[in-house]
Amino acid sequence: MTLNNSKHSYFASLFMCGCLYFIFGFVSWVNSILIPYFKVACDLHNEVLSYLVAFAFYIAYLVMSIPASVMLNKIGFKRGVEVGLWVMSLGAILFVPAALTRTYALFLTGLFSFGIGLAILQTAANPFVTIIGPIESAARRISIMGICNKFAGIVSPLIFSALVIREADKTTMELVKSGALTGAAKEAALDEMILNVIPPYIALAVILFLFGFVFYRSAIPDIDPKSLNKAEAGEGSERKSILAYPYLILGALAMFCHVGSQVISVDTSIRYAESMGWSLDEAKILPSMTLACILVGYLLGIVLIPKYLKQQKALLICTSMGLVLSLCAIFCSGEMNIFGHSADISLWFVVLLGLPNSLIFAGIWPLAIRNLGKYTNLGSSLLVMGLCGNAFLPLIYGWVADNFNLRMGYWVLVPCFVYLIFYASVGHKIEHWTPKRK
């Protein structure tokens, strides 16, 4: 099934989808700087509390993915995208009262609204990208969308810090961390500092709301859910339940492990660098460097797969490399200077995790979603639910960091990559829970 016949319509649809994926990346990866920012601005006293930023944002995927699929079948995919963008706009507006009262719970509510909107958009956008053009070029379109997503992730922490963290705020944050600013003076300084989030988030709310209108009224053809479901019927449809596909269920768990380990490598780098004496202003570049590594991985994937490297083989290589880099981050020590910044070498191994993480998502998805027949839509929702790994694994990292240290927190990555290696080598081949009788 292909939506677009004309070249103009195809490129217009590709552009609009690219904008959607840019939005995904922008609002998702800005969490990497919100975590250390809120830790100071909202006066949070442990790592677990600060990583509730990721939990509130990504737990929405677990709550909303299947309801989003049901909703899209009723109101259509284009209207669903509009609704998703408007829900995100509401989340941005909630940052205003949250900043005025410096209430962390309200910020988390706004982030949860962002997550709900993104769950709707993710459920809608993946089918769009697949069928807006020829199926044989779908992988290339997915790679282009990934580039849009990760480019947004590179620039979002830098834009946030430029718009929100003034020179006076950098001084305030350093004084708070050192304990030199206390009592009423500290509260007044933090109250003033956090007001800076209001203008950019009001602007973001307006942009998201207007883009919802633009997308719905664009020339992109809508997806007919009935036609999509009919097109999906076929091989694999004879099984009685979605749970009868082991490679899908194991793939959803693999997605959980992958996205959780990826967000840990991005969102923890600033705090890890701060523990080595870096300021937030110096460390803000680290998430962008990790995402730049992911972008390099995407480009390598476009060049190498499938002409020189099979996708399943690339998945196995990347998961194995992720395990090696995780162990290096835990065990390797020694000062290294890169781009004028000196830090323990383990920090640079955390940054380099972006390279193997780049191709794991694209490797899991086709292996887990193959031959589901009429269950394809529901299977996609289960995989999107797996993105809640971004919610739970950073909290586990935070608990380990609180009870041991930030470096030991990276032990969380080891079982994740061990399981991903299992899925890449064995798990995706399991067709039935028990051997079929001959």
Residue-wise pLDDT for 124-172, tens only, equals 777 677 667 765 566 567 778 888 888 898 898 889 888 888 888 888 8
Residue 274 one-letter amino acid: E
pLDDT, residue 42, reads 93
Burial of 316 by CB count in 10 Å (0-12 exposed, 13-18 middle, 19+ buried)? middle
C-beta separation of 237 from 379 below 8 A = no
Cα–Cα dist 432/438, whole Å: 13
- The CA-based angle 150-350-413, given to 5 degrees, is 95
C-beta separation of 417 from 284 below 8 A = no
Report CA 91 to chain centroid distance, whole Å. Answer: 17
Which residue do the tokens 């091989």 mark?
235
Cα–Cα dist 133/18, whole Å: 14
- Give the helix/strand (H/E) hosting 41: helix 31-41
Residue 1 in domain:
no
Domain containing residue 358: CATH number: 1.20.1250.20
Which residue do the tokens 């949860």 mark?
112
DSSP summary character for residue 332: -
Residue 405, both tokens: 């240290």
DSSP line for 376-410: HHHHHHHHHHGGGHHHHHHHHHHHHHHHS-TTGGG
Residue 172 in domain:
yes
Residue 65 in domain:
yes
Residue 44 one-letter amino acid: L
Domain holding 210, by residue range, is 7-429
**Residue 249: CB partners within 8 Å, gap ≥ 6?**
243, 382
pLDDT, residue 236, reads 52
The SS3 assignment for 104 reads helix
C-beta separation of 70 from 229 below 8 A = no
Burial of 222 by CB count in 10 Å (0-12 exposed, 13-18 middle, 19+ buried)? middle
C-beta separation of 211 from 23 below 8 A = yes
pLDDT, residue 375, reads 80
- The CA-based angle 393-394-399, given to 5 degrees, is 95
Residue 362 in domain:
yes
Using CA atoms of 157, 161, 162, 166 in order, give the dihedral in degrees to the nearest 10. Answer: 180
Q: Which residues of the chain have pLDDT under 70?
A: 1-8, 127, 130-131, 134-140, 223-238, 338-342, 436-438
How many domains does the structure of the chain reveal?
1
pLDDT, residue 308, reads 84
Cα–Cα dist 422/303, whole Å: 26
pTM of the model: 0.84
C-beta separation of 416 from 84 below 8 A = no
C-beta separation of 399 from 265 below 8 A = no
Pairing type for strands 335-338 and 341-344 reads antiparallel
Residue 174 in domain:
yes
Model pLDDT for residues 320-353, shown as the tens digit of each residue? 999 999 999 999 988 777 656 667 899 999 999 9
Residue 413 in domain:
yes
Residue 313 in domain:
yes
The SS3 assignment for 335 reads strand
Residue 253 in domain:
yes
Q: Which of 396, 388, 417 is nearest to 268 (CA)?
A: 396
